[in-house]
Structure 1
Amino acid sequence: MRRREVVYQAASLCLRHPDADILAAAPLIRAALRESAPTAEAAFEPLFEWWERTRPEAVAAAYVDTFDMSKRHALYLSYWTDGDTRRRGMVLAGFKQRYRDAGLELEGTGELPDHLPLVLEFAAQRPDDGAALLQEYRASVELIRIALAERGSPYAGVVAAVCATLPGVSPSDREQAMALAASGPPAESVGLDAYDPRLLPLQPVGGRA
């Protein structure tokens, strides 16, 4: 299994709401990174270590406070490029079409299709298409990374590991990332095999692979 797919799958799992299944999967995620992407594993370690020393209910509360209660760390990629505008509906439809074109469909995730964990799951299963989508929304991913780093969040390293899979140099600060975002919206609007497939929201059209 290629390093890039493992990073995307690991990040997809780690950036979801940390319920009991996700937290229990931490040793498996860590082992997959150690075997296939040891450099990236170091970026995930602050999160794994925080999970280990923190009560599960406190982990869940911190996740909600970070990602659900503050738009500053919103995990919805088109929010950073389109905000709450009418255009965003068209952009979200475009995300769904990208998944369908790749032979995948959404299955009751309860999330918008531009949710970063969902995009990363897509990238894990279709790495070339997924990396292209992440690159189109590079500014959004970088702004999330920078905001999490400014907060001192253990999730910052996870997003940094995703950025490291993309071509080019990451913006060094918020001003550079904002300039990247201001350049305009995109033109187009690994898996851990042993992991419980019920946690994988994207499935091939027509059934499981």
Structure 2
Amino acid sequence: MRTDHSLVLRALSALLSYPQADLRAALPDIGAVVRTVSDVNATTRDELLALIDELSRSDPLDAEARFVDLFDRGRSTSLNLFEHVHGDGRERGAAMLDLRQRYLDAGLEPSGNELPDHLPVLLEYLSCRDVAEMRETLGDCAHILRAVGNRLLHRRSRYAGVFGALLELARVEGLDPHAPIPPPENLDATWEERPAFANDRAPPCRPSDFRR
């Protein structure tokens, strides 16, 4: 069985969401989607299932603490993509507005409190788009996904599997457990989470904002 890429992207988006009660309740459904993924290799699929199993078995407070430690403390593994490109520089604000407009041009109204460059939000957007745009956009930000994924590998986090899966979906070079861990690059200065969008209309959108 071949899984529609929209379901796969929503599953990966959910796995990168804060592991509160509604996510834990959805883990069996997310696992069912992951088991049918045909665009990632068996090893990556097993890594995703291991992450799901870890989240299922973990004490909720421990799972939440691990998530905060990984993704909310410092920039090196931030899920806000433009932090890795612009830091706190003025260019980040302009890029954020452009990305939000890209969502609006596609007929998708961002909801919730996350910024437009938050990776789970981007993945939900791409889940409403075609495969070609999905691969192009993930390819454009592959250098960020790879850097974050390699850092997670270095920290022996099962969340690295999500980044490996995204690189495979983009059909680009994957993670490297032996890669040196660089500092955050180009800094200008020192399923059922709430949906990221209010509807699923999808006319053409503008080129990616994630190129180097």
TM-score where L is the length of structure 2:
0.79
Determine helix, strand or coil for the equivalent of 1:30.
Answer: helix
Tell me how far apart the structure 2 counterparts of residues 3 and 176 of structure 1 sit (CA, whole Å). 34
| Residue correspondence of structure 1 range 164-203 to structure 2 within 5 A | 164-170=168-174, 172=176, 174=179, 196=192, 199-203=194-198
| Residue correspondence of structure 1 range 60-99 to structure 2 within 5 A | 60-99=64-103
Superposition misfits of 4+ residues, deviation over 6 angstroms: none
Equivalenced residue count is 190
Tell me how far apart the structure 1 counterparts of residues 91 and 151 of structure 2 sit (CA, whole Å). 24
| 1:204 alignment partner in structure 2 | 199
| 2:6 alignment partner in structure 1 | 5
Find the partner of 1:51 among 37, 51, 55. Answer: 55
| 1:31 alignment partner in structure 2 | 32
The residue type equivalent to 1:61 in the other structure is A
> Is 1:125 paired with 2:120?
no
| 1:113 alignment partner in structure 2 | 116
Tell me how far apart the structure 1 counterparts of residues 124 and 171 of structure 2 sit (CA, whole Å). 19
Tell me how far apart the structure 2 counterparts of residues 204 and 30 of structure 1 sit (CA, whole Å). 25
Shift of 1:177: 8.1
The residue type equivalent to 1:10 in the other structure is A
| 1:189 alignment partner in structure 2 | none
Percent of counterpart pairs with the same letter?
A: 29
TM-score where L is the length of structure 1:
0.81
Whether the aligned pair in 2 keeps the contact of 1:123 and 1:131 (CA below 8 Å) is no
Whether the aligned pair in 2 keeps the contact of 1:18 and 1:63 (CA below 8 Å) is yes
Question: Which blocks of at least 5 consecutive residues in structure 1 are unaligned?
Answer: 183-194
Tell me how far apart the structure 2 counterparts of residues 62 and 168 of structure 1 sit (CA, whole Å). 28
Whether the aligned pair in 2 keeps the contact of 1:43 and 1:160 (CA below 8 Å) is no
Tell me how far apart the structure 1 counterparts of residues 147 and 52 of structure 2 sit (CA, whole Å). 22
Measured at CA, do residues 4 and 176 of structure 1 come closer, stay the same or move farther in structure 2, by a change above 3 Å? Answer: farther
Q: Larger % of helix: which?
A: 1
CA-based RMSD of the aligned residues comes to 2.4
